[in-house]
Amino acid sequence: MLSLALYFLAAAPALAQGDGIYRITPLRPVAELRALALQAMPPAETGNFRPSDLVDLAALDPTIRLDIKYATAHNFLSTPVYTEARALLQRPAAEAAVRAHRRLREHGFGLVVHDAYRPWFVTWVFWEATPKDKRDYVADPAKGSRHNRGCAVDVTLYDLDTGLTVEMPSLYDEMTERAWPNYTGGAPEARRLRDLLRAAMEAEGFTVYEHEWWHFDHRDWRHYRIVNVPVEKFR
């Protein structure tokens, strides 16, 4: 388990992409925002929802790779926001992701998961840390994220032969038009792999987010409430 002290790592002073990570300068220190987020309350919701049934994706299929960026400093805020590197999804979404992974294996690729269930307080931190002109790439905590419902997953591909993560048209969490799933620039092979990923996920009931090729929402997301429990609390 990562030490809670890691939450207090200083954020990067400026945008940097040389290490393959897209970074921003947070509007306020992440440690300060996290303390405030833990005091905030998710939006109230009414209606009939299914009971939450978050399951560990890696336990369903250990050949799905985990590269949980937010459990490390290798993310757009340059500091950990999770204390454990786990990928949890509501059971229907998790089972659909496993089917997509197995579908991709027929093409020589497998899934790499960067994020799945995300506690609501982390969404609050992301929103408050991100400049207003880049907020199309983070969810509004007043509405909640589909990650908060355990029905969104951030994924890319790895090559079964080499074991290497493939090149895509943009970096993960990149806040530019290169991240759009319909972006027509960049290398043709990168676009082909992006589209292969999208086709496999959509075949299993996911929809890609309009600004992020890696972000997929499961069709059942409306059936689950926003959850605000830290990842490490689930066993």
Q: 154: buried, middle or exposed (CB in 10 Å: 19+, 13-18, 0-12)?
A: buried
**Residue 212 annotated to the active site:** yes
Other Cβ atoms closer than 10 A to 166 = 18
User: β-strands 212-218, 65-66: how paired?
Assistant: unpaired
Rg (CA), the chain: 17
Residue found under tokens 């899934």: 111
Q: Which two tokens stand for residue 149?
A: 């419902």
Edge to edge, the sheet with strand 65-66 lists: 65-66, 109-115, 152-159, 212-218, 206-209
Catalytic residue among 95, 106, 212, 232: 212
Q: 77: buried, middle or exposed (CB in 10 Å: 19+, 13-18, 0-12)?
A: buried
Would you name the residues annotated as active-site residues?
212
